[in-house]
Amino acid sequence: MDILNTLRSFIKVDDSAAQAAQEAAQKDVKDYLDILMRLGEIKAEYLKLKIVEALRSPATSENEAVPIESILETSSNIYATTKIEIDAVKNAITPLISEISPGLEGDRKKSMDSLIENLISGFLGGPKSPKDTKEHFFVYAEGLSLIRLDVYLWEQKFNFSALGQNSLGSVLVMTYCKSAINAEKINLNTFITLYQYQFARTESAMDANELNRIKQIFYFLRTGKSGMIPN
């Protein structure tokens, strides 16, 4: 019995030591993630400044083709985890469309959800260097407004080998800027070309009703009048 009790005590000591080591490793990982979140916050602030500066400069062909009259909202979301799950990130980001553009409904909202999800999936799954930033913009109509949505994505991968962990992780920053398009300075054909190209990349189709809706919005923004567009 004494020998068995002695063995049991050794086992308990070993178990306690293993548990303590595991808790210490988990704390190290958490501390590391906290540092990465701070890195993400710094990067997010930089990307906000970068988007605003880019939108206010007419130097690019994108800005000349889709000029804005005002910036409505700029924000960022940061995700840090020991393992980036694409579906989990998509599920976390998808509700953002409802927050960014509450006026989007039905097929138009589904289309934007799909476009944002595809952008994120392609970015996370594609090859890139640590300094790479994905920059993309979308155009759409929300209510009686024409919107340009710029999205910047940045990801930094890391591993926990220094902490005795054999796992990988990432910090992902998504910064977006919602702007009102200047309807006086954009051609209807340019907007429709960009808009229908986006639709072609989703399950939705740009039908005659949607085309007429866009024309009505252009007419309203340029004349201040609603109703039938004169021939």
Confidence of residue 48 (pLDDT cuts 50, 70, 90): very high
Average pLDDT over residues 181-199: 92
Does the pLDDT value for residue 200 go beyond 70?
Answer: yes
User: Are the C-beta atoms of 123 and 134 separated by less than 8 Å?
Assistant: yes
- pLDDT for the residue numbered 102: 87
pLDDT confidence of 125, banded at 50, 70, 90? Answer: confident
Here the tokens at position 62 are 């994108």
Tell me what pLDDT residue 215 has. Answer: 93
Secondary structure class of 132 (helix, strand, coil): coil
Q: Is the dihedral of CA 84, 90, 95, 97 positive or negative?
A: positive
**C-alpha dihedral (8, 14, 19, 24), degrees to nearest 10:** 160
pLDDT confidence tier of residue 121, bands split at 50, 70 and 90: confident
Could you give the dihedral angle defined by the CA atoms of residues 113, 116, 117 and 120, in that order, rounded to the nearest 10 degrees? -170
Residue 89 belongs to what H/E stretch?
helix 86-93
Q: What are the boundaries of each domain within the chain?
A: 9-223
pLDDT in tens, 140-182: 999 999 999 999 999 887 765 655 555 556 788 899 999 999 9
